[in-house]
Structure 1
Amino acid sequence: MNKKLIAIDLDGTTLNNNSEISQETINVIQKVISKGNMVNIVTGRPPRLVEHLYNQLGFNNPMITFNGSLGYNPASVWSEAYQYNIDKNIVFELLNKSEEIGINLMTVEGKDLFLANKSADESVGFFPTNLSKDEIISKDTLTENPICLTLHVDKQKKETFINYVKQNYGDILEVSPWGGKDPIIEVAAKGVSKVTGIKKLVNYYGIKQNDVIAFGDEFNDESMIKYAGLGVAMKNGQPKIKEIADDITKFDNNHNGLAEYLKEYFKI
């Protein structure tokens, strides 16, 4: 069997619903690596919410974050490291129109950057609740181009916001509404997806596309599940993702679905 590159999503895939990695999953992934395969994290999360999991897995290899917008190796220098940024002036332009286009909260993030326009109340989730002055977006604090913007918008103005960004920045920015009850929208560089990062990994490792195995559960995993030689949807995955996948795990993310699949595939 050729050496494989296994691209693993985190939430709903490698992690259980409590955002934890089981010891069984860690053990199986280490065994897969010991057979000469590569296992890389490919996630929508920012680095600040990934590095503790990366360390738990005992990795020292590159990882892809922000849905493909940032690729780097937390353990050392990576020759293929890259990032796709958003012009910081766009942040100020959007915030100046907050009322008109319905922006309640905005965070701007980069590899080592995390700022917000104001503190959130506890009910919103994900957004920071206690900000110091140097964590609030201003001309003084936002001195570099961010990688990703995450916004909480007025429900009634969600489409207004999406249309505004598409009309004014549609050629350079991608707008991705999150699933779920809250009107949360992510904005990133146009044309970037998890496959952007996987192609870098394929090139770096010198392997064929056919030797890529990708695991995911959500809409942001669609590109890599389609691209991989073997695209595997989690049992708990979105129906659309299961539809396009080559295979589906027997168990969900709360019952080591990823680990059980790898054990069977690699005969561990």
Structure 2
Amino acid sequence: MTNKKLIAIDLDGTTLQSDGITISDYTKNIFQSVRKEGHQIVIATGRPYRMAIQIYNDLSLETPMINFNGAMTTIPGKNWEHAVSKHINRSLVFDLIKKQQAFKLDFLAAEFRRKFFINSFEHASPSLFGINNFEPYHQMRMEKLDDDPNAILLQTRFTDKLQLANHIDDYFSNQVNVSAWGGQNGILEVVPKGVSKASALKHLLKLNDQDTSDLIAFGDEHNDIEMLKLAGTGYAMKNASNILLAHADKQIAYSNDEDGVAKTLENLLL
């Protein structure tokens, strides 16, 4: 294969094993071999920068990294002139707090590149934010929100979190994009309108002078829909949610715990 590919990999439920931490040596070796062939591997995740940078380093990547479902694109460790950081007006945080009961929210958190503020610790798991314990400085206070966040993280008790995502879109008159995390956790992520993993990947394709046919994408959940639709070939994992399958070109025969991304890339490119 002569065309060099841009390969977008989701993390949770896709590249990472189900513990949310482990990447096998086999996957690391395949990724390295794929990169030696001249292809680019790009992390495209809903995770904030602070919860993805260790994985980026473990994979020895030097490519851009996409965080907050497309709201931030950077090359870690570099002052990259094409970096993108998009933000939500912080007034929306306070609007959501006013609707906390109506939307059945356990908590909401304003997320930034290296910090976050959360309005309630009671029903929140610190591991969701990549820490062992909450500290007093994580408590959201009006005076702390002196910048606009990249994203807002919500946990809802709504049975149908996708329906709530649509309600929030409507409430804010389509000023934001709302996507759901995988699993039964009730987690929604709010980012600026027009922002998605796909919008960030379009930016990278343009910089590389590549077409969407040069893009391969791997995902497992609702927040991967636009990315898989954009890609020349969009792969859904064996463990992918049903809502994603309708938008994938192919479903691979292996799960995230079975090195599905690496096995597919080995077959395609090596």
**TM-score, length basis structure 2:** 0.88
**Which blocks of at least 5 consecutive residues in structure 2 are unaligned?**
none
- Alpha-carbon distance, 1:122 to partner: 6.7
Q: Is the 8 A contact 2:69 2:191 kept in 1?
A: no
Q: Give the alignment partner of residue 208 of structure 1, picking from 207, 211, 222.
A: 211
Mapped partners of 1:3, 1:120: distance in 2: 48
Mapped partners of 1:229, 1:27: distance in 2: 25
Asked if residue 266 in structure 1 is aligned to residue 263 in structure 2, the reply is no
Q: Give the alignment partner of residue 73 of structure 2, picking from 68, 71, 74.
A: 71
Which of 53-62 and 121-130 deviates more? 121-130
Secondary structure of the residue aligned to 1:79 is coil
Mapped partners of 1:163, 1:265: distance in 2: 37
Q: Is the 8 A contact 1:101 1:157 kept in 2?
A: no
> Which residue of structure 1 lines up, in the alignment, with residue 112 of structure 2?
110
Q: Is the 8 A contact 2:180 2:222 kept in 1?
A: no
Q: Give the alignment partner of residue 248 of structure 1, picking from 236, 247, 251.
A: 251
Counterpart of 1:135, as a letter, is H
Q: Deviations over 1:73-112 (max 9, x none)?
A: 1121222211221111221232244345433311110112
**TM-score, length basis structure 1:** 0.89
Q: Is the 8 A contact 1:28 1:263 kept in 2?
A: yes
- Alpha-carbon distance, 1:147 to partner: 1.1
Q: Is the 8 A contact 2:238 2:251 kept in 1?
A: yes
Q: Deviations over 1:15-57 (max 9, x none)?
A: 1112211111111001111111111001111112101100000
> Which residue of structure 2 lines up, in the alignment, with residue 14 of structure 1?
15
Q: Is the 8 A contact 2:179 2:222 kept in 1?
A: no
Q: Give the alignment partner of residue 176 of structure 1, picking from 175, 179, 188.
A: 179
Counterpart of 1:86, as a letter, is I
Secondary structure of the residue aligned to 2:152 is strand
- Alpha-carbon distance, 1:199 to partner: 0.6
Which of 81-90 and 180-189 deviates more? 180-189
- Alpha-carbon distance, 1:256 to partner: 1.0
1:163-202 map, 5 Å: 165-202=168-205
Mapped partners of 1:8, 1:159: distance in 2: 23
State the superposition RMSD in angstroms: 2.6
**Which blocks of at least 5 consecutive residues in structure 1 are unaligned?**
none
> Which residue of structure 1 lines up, in the alignment, with residue 151 of structure 2?
148
Counterpart of 2:120, as a letter, is K
Asked if residue 89 in structure 1 is aligned to residue 91 in structure 2, the reply is yes
Structure 1 residues 195 and 122 mapped into 2: Cα distance closer, same or farther (>3 Å)? closer
Counterpart of 2:228, as a letter, is I
Q: Is the 8 A contact 1:134 1:141 kept in 2?
A: no
> Which residue of structure 1 lines up, in the alignment, with residue 61 of structure 2?
59
